[in-house]
Every structure is written in C-alpha cells, then in structure tokens.
Amino acid sequence: MVLPDTKRYDMLKKPKKQAWYLTPLAWLLSLPVLWKHKLKINKQGMEKLKPPYVLLSTHHAFVDFKVTTMAIFPHRANYIVAIDGFIGREGLLRNVGCVCKRKFTNDILLVRQIEHCIRVNKSICAIYPEARYSLCGTTAILPESLGKMCKMLGVPVVVINMHGNYLSSPVWSLRPQKVALAADMTQIVRQEEIKELAVDDINQRIAKAFQYDEYQYLLDTHQLITHPKRAEGLHRILYQCPMCLTEHEMDSSGETLFCRHCHKTWIMEETGQLRATSGKTEYSHIPDWYEFEREQVRQSLENHTYGFEDDVTIDALPNAQGYVRLGDGHLIHDDSGFRLTAFIDDQEFLLEKDPLSLYSLHIEYDYLGKGADCIDLSTLSDTYYIYPKTKKNVVTKLHFAVEEMYKIAKQKKLEEISNRKCQKEKSDLTDKN
C-alpha cells in the first residue's frame, strides 16, 4: 500500500436513491443542451415499463448523462460513475444517486451495490459498460460479465444507443461541434424472459443493441461538421501513417491530418470523411484507419515484436479529495502485461497487471489540461494515473495492445482447458479398458 495513512473512498456505503429535490434540477440542467442539439428519443418496447430495471448505455461524451436523464423522464436513476468524477463533489454525486467505480477492475462489491439499487432503491440503474468515452465513434469492448449480472438481477434490461454525442465532442478534440442528437431506447430483455434466457443469449442481445458508428451516422443523416479546426487532435487516435507505416509521427492542424515522416496529408471533409491531398486515400472512413492500427498491433503481438517502456510520472487517486503526486517511476508493457515500478518515500513500489486481468485500458488525452496523455491502472483501493515522460502519442497503441493481448491470452487459456479436458477423457477411457 503506497499511501497507508490516506483514507480510501468508502465503497461500502450503500447507494442512495436520487434525492427528489435534485431531480427537477437535473431536468433543468439537461433541457437547454438537448434543445440546442434537437435531441430525438426513439423508444421501442418501453410501453408501461417502470423501475426497477437495468439501463445500459453507450458512452461518447459528458452529454450522455443529460441524454439519459431525459430518456428516463420522469423517473430517477442510480448512475455508475468513475471515481475521478467524484473529485470535489462526493456529497452531491451521492445525493443524485451515483455509485463509485474504479475502471477495469473485477469488482464484486460493485455488483452488490447495483443489486442494492435494484432491490432496495427500486430504481433504474444506469450503467455505461464501455467504461470510457468512445475513442473513434464505434462500439468499444463490452465486459463478458454483463449477461451474467443481468440474469442475476432478474429485472428487465434496456439499452440506450446514442447518436451524435461523440461527434458533438470527440474525446480527441477540445472543440464542441453542432450536431443533432438522437437516441434509441429499447427494452431488449423483458421481465418474463430474463429467467429463461441463457447468459450467452443476453450478451448477444446486448452486443447487437450496442452497435454504432458515429461517422456513418453523420453520413446517413446528411449533417456536416463545419468547424475550421475539425481535424485538430485526430492524430491522437490515428497515430500510424498507412503510407509509410511510421508510428507516432502523425500530427494535425485545422482541417488537415499529416505525417511528419513521409509528409503525406489528408483533409477531413465536412462529411467526416478523409481525403488524401495527393495519391491514394488509404482510408476515407476514420474507423477503418483505426482498425488498421489495431491489426498492426495484433500482428506485432503474434510476432512477439511488441513492447513498450518509458519513464513515467505517477499520480494516485485514493479518494474523492483529489490527486496525490507519488513521483517518478518506470513502466513496462510486454507479453507479461504491465509492470510499474517506483521508489516512493524510500520504499519500493510495484504494480503488476497480467494480460487476463485487463480486457481494456482507460486512457486520457491531455488529461486535465496538463499537456500530457496518460493511462490509469487500478486496484480495488487505488487508481494510478501514469504519464509517459519521453514517448509521445502512445496511449492509443497501449489500449490496442491491452485489448488484443487479452484476447490472445483468453484464447490460449480456453485451448489449455480444452486440451486438459481431452486428456482426462482419454485417460478415463484408458482406465476403463
């Protein structure tokens, strides 16, 4: 434990039902923004449905919470919120029904808190299972435990698939855009089905309802992004040049994206599509370029050529009072997972995360305006914000590596289990003969 004398956030405290006097305030704060963006909510299978139920939502930008508030009107909800959202406002967030979570941890306690929201508060429990804002406007990896949790809770399951939220405020950009918002709110599992459906069937329904592509939505709705600096920051997610394959030399300015190594340039059109200023346009659709990078990382993992190492600065977030600067450390990420080392108050600190312990990774660009990107790694009692010192624009690749490493490790584990099962069956058959 790095901060033995520091009080941790109290994860055991039971979630409150949203205070009735704060509900009208939430509506008033949400309405102006949603009027501005001409929000349209398409409800399917929601007739006569009342709390309690599980509400799963796609996650694009801060405006998501306001869309959810209006989508469930006139009902109240408990919301699952990451611990950094509680900084300086723990009392307020607890009173509006928020439940604290440390990202990408296997937290059995959280399931119990969600169960309390459903069974005791008789509330809607709003969960954003992608656990971070979408990086490129397409569906992120969902935890496999969702279906199991929904079946255990035994209540209806509703999905809100939001459209336009990401485009209005991309995670890689600091410039809000004027885009019309829409949301599909669908009851995907009814009360009478939940006991009969298998966990895999529930997960399949969730996965289907969560499919989205924000750049395709922009095309389909014939909207335009007209901001003259609409491409600035795009290099944060498109970090590898598809022309020369150089990594971390991409940059952006105004409406252009360019490679500092081979000097190829692309224009981001008002339609959200990319166009090379000369030669072939390798990827006109931003999510296609993004997935190209994922495949490049996957190949490097399979070829055992992937690796990351850098000196880092480390902050801790033990509670909602704010960040604690721990100092300098060293981060390694390879086939074995993450290894973070440091000397803090003359004591050796070590945090390890093997590939199967993380199915994804939370990353931030220019976090809190500090001018540096970061990743965060959490235990059940602490969250560490880790800033690479010398290597720039690397966090998107790290997130790809974590996700693909998890898939490879999981597949290997399943094969090992299958092989042991086959060997046991052969051994049993031999003994019988």
pLDDT, residue 100, reads 94
Triad 260, 264, 269: Cα angle to 5°? 110
Percent of the chain with pLDDT over 70: 97
* For residues 12-35, average pLDDT: 85
Is residue 373 pLDDT above 70, yes or no? Answer: yes
pLDDT, residue 329, reads 97
pLDDT, residue 27, reads 82
Note the pLDDT tens digit of each residue in 152-172. 999 999 999 999 999 999 999
pLDDT, residue 432, reads 66
180 confidence band (pLDDT: 50, 70, 90): very high
428 confidence band (pLDDT: 50, 70, 90): low
Is residue 208 pLDDT above 80, yes or no? Answer: yes
Is residue 147 pLDDT above 80, yes or no? Answer: yes
178 confidence band (pLDDT: 50, 70, 90): confident
pLDDT, residue 160, reads 98
Percent of the chain with pLDDT over 90: 80
Q: Is 313 helix (H, G, I), strand (E, B) or coil?
A: strand
425 confidence band (pLDDT: 50, 70, 90): low
pLDDT, residue 429, reads 67
What 3 state SS string does 104-133 have? CCCCHHHHHHHHHHHHCCCCEEEECCCCCC
Note the pLDDT tens digit of each residue in 76-88. 999 999 999 999 9
Domain ranges of the chain: 23-220, 234-302, 308-406
Is residue 393 pLDDT above 90, yes or no? Answer: yes
Most confident of 83-87, 203-207, 369-373: 203-207
7 confidence band (pLDDT: 50, 70, 90): confident
Task: Fill in the amino acid letter for 198.
Answer: A
pLDDT, residue 205, reads 97
Q: Which of 218, 214, 213, 220 is nearest to 269 (CA)?
A: 218
Is residue 417 pLDDT above 90, yes or no? Answer: no
Q: Specify the range with the lowest mean pLDDT, choosing from 69-83, 302-316, 389-403, 417-431.
A: 417-431
Q: Is 259 helix (H, G, I), strand (E, B) or coil?
A: strand
Note the pLDDT tens digit of each residue in 28-71. 888 887 788 889 999 999 998 999 999 999 999 999 999 999 99
Provide the angle, in degrees to the nearest 10, between the axes of the packed helices 199-209 and 146-153: 110
Q: Architecture of domain 308-406 in CATH?
A: Roll (2.30)
pLDDT, residue 422, reads 77
Quickly list H helices, 56-171.
63-71, 90-95, 108-119, 146-153, 165-168
431 confidence band (pLDDT: 50, 70, 90): low
Separation between Cα atoms, residue 397 and residue 394, nearest integer Å = 6
Separation between Cα atoms, residue 250 and residue 290, nearest integer Å = 13
Exposed (0-12), middle (13-18) or buried (19+): which is 346, by Cβ within 10 Å? exposed
Q: Would you say 78 and 123 are in contact if contact means Cβ atoms under 8 Å apart?
A: yes
Calculate the dihedral angle through the C-alpha atoms of 139, 145, 149, 155, rounding to the nearest 10 degrees. 30
20 confidence band (pLDDT: 50, 70, 90): confident
pLDDT, residue 122, reads 96
pLDDT, residue 84, reads 92
pLDDT, residue 200, reads 96
* For residues 123-151, average pLDDT: 95
